[in-house]
């Protein structure tokens, strides 16, 4: 509850310094922080525990801060803190159907607004979390609150996947018949028998093939993107990579893995799934 008034009331330069200080006192701490640090160490990212854990918390706070900031985002803030590099986005007149791919990395919430302003409002794919026991439901309810804000930023209703209420027909219709953008995050634990693998860090990562087969079949352009907090001044560094020419599931999987690996090597503390790395990164 402390975060929302800080983000809304303070200038971002001051808010960022306050949040960076409060991480020393445990703000945004999580029971998984030590596990995340140990797994980073195991995969070759050697940082002192106190520094790594503070940065993990700061990235977590930036992701939440963008959720609150999205309600009142000024042109001046964007001009100072929003930095986009890499490939130009596809022309929505020439390529109305696009697959946006990002990861559980950094703070990508505001990128949804950026894409919509370029005429590429995406339908985000989501899988609902399991309903928790009584008394520990904040994260569960926040998921749905955030999902409604994704709808607000994109202008497109998100599409449910991954359970017995999946809206797969709607997904296929949007991409194939209506030729409209879709977005998803593929860096999750995946059963290998329904997946395609690629080299990743010191092992392999696997991506589910269902959606990717559709993308390859219909030659849909892919936009890989990462958006991450600049630890020096609190800006958001956004990098875009557009894939027009690919010929196989394996080629797509290699591109996904390479994009995530580059991002992690730039700042390993920005990957939010280190605590689950042993289920995602197979060595």
- pTM reported for the whole predicted model: 0.95
Q: Phi first, then psi: give them for residue 206, nearest 5 degrees.
A: -120, 140
The confidence score (pLDDT) of residue 139 equals 81
118-137 per-position pLDDT tens digit: 999 999 999 999 887 776 67
Strand partners, 222: 99, 243
How many whole angstroms from its chain centre is CA 260? 10
**CB atoms near residue 158 (< 10 Å):** 18
| C-alpha–C-alpha distance, residues 242 and 68, integer Å | 29
Burial class (CB within 10 angstroms; exposed 0-12, middle 13-18, buried 19+) of 169 = exposed
148 to each of 78, 139, 154, 195, 218, how far by Cα in Å?
Answer: 23, 14, 10, 30, 30
| C-alpha–C-alpha distance, residues 149 and 108, integer Å | 13
Range in 22-36, 77-91, 261-275 the model is least confident about: 22-36
Retrieve residue 179's tokens. 């030729």
Question: Does residue 201 surpass a pLDDT of 90?
Answer: yes
Tokens 């042109």 belong to residue: 75
> What does pLDDT average to over the chain?
95
**Residues 6 or more apart from 1 whose CB is under 8 A from it?**
none
The confidence score (pLDDT) of residue 163 equals 87
236-243 and 222-229 strand pairing: antiparallel
Question: Does residue 145 surpass a pLDDT of 70?
Answer: yes
The vertex-209 CA angle with 207 and 214, nearest 5°, equals 135
| C-alpha–C-alpha distance, residues 93 and 235, integer Å | 31
The confidence score (pLDDT) of residue 232 equals 96
The confidence score (pLDDT) of residue 51 equals 96
Nearest CA to 210 among 186, 233, 178? 186
19-68 per-position pLDDT tens digit: 999 999 998 999 899 999 999 999 999 999 999 999 999 999 999 999 99
């Amino acid at each position: 509850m402390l975060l929302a008034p800080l983000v809304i009331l303070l200038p971002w330069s001051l808010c960022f310094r306050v949040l960076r200080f409060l991480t020393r006192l445990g703000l945004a701490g999580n029971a998984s922080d030590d596990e995340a640090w140990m797994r980073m160490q195991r995969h070759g990212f050697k940082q002192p525990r106190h520094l790594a854990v503070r940065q993990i918390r700061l990235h977590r706070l930036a992701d939440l801060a963008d959720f609150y900031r999205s309600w009142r985002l000024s042109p001046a803030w964007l001009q100072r803190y929003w930095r986009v590099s890499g490939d130009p986005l596809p022309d929505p007149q020439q390529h109305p159907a696009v697959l946006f791919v990002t990861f559980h990395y950094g703070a990508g919430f505001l990128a949804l607004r950026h894409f919509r302003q370029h005429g590429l409002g995406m339908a985000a794919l989501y899988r609902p979390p399991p309903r928790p026991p009584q008394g520990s439901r904040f994260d569960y309810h926040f998921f749905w609150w955030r999902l409604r804000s994704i709808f607000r930023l994109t202008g497109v209703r998100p599409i449910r996947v991954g359970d017995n209420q999946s809206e797969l027909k709607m997904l296929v219709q949007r991409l194939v018949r209506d030729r409209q953008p879709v977005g998803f995050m593929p860096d999750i634990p995946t059963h290998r028998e329904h997946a395609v693998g690629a080299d990743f860090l010191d092992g392999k990562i696997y991506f589910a093939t269902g959606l990717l087969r559709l993308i390859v079949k219909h030659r849909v352009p892919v936009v890989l993107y990462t958006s991450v907090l600049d630890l020096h001044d609190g800006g958001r560094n956004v990098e875009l990579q557009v894939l027009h020419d690919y010929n196989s599931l394996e080629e797509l999987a290699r591109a996904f893995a390479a994009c995530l690996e580059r991002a992690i090597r730039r700042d390993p503390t920005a990957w939010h799934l280190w605590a689950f790395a042993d289920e995602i990164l197979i060595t």
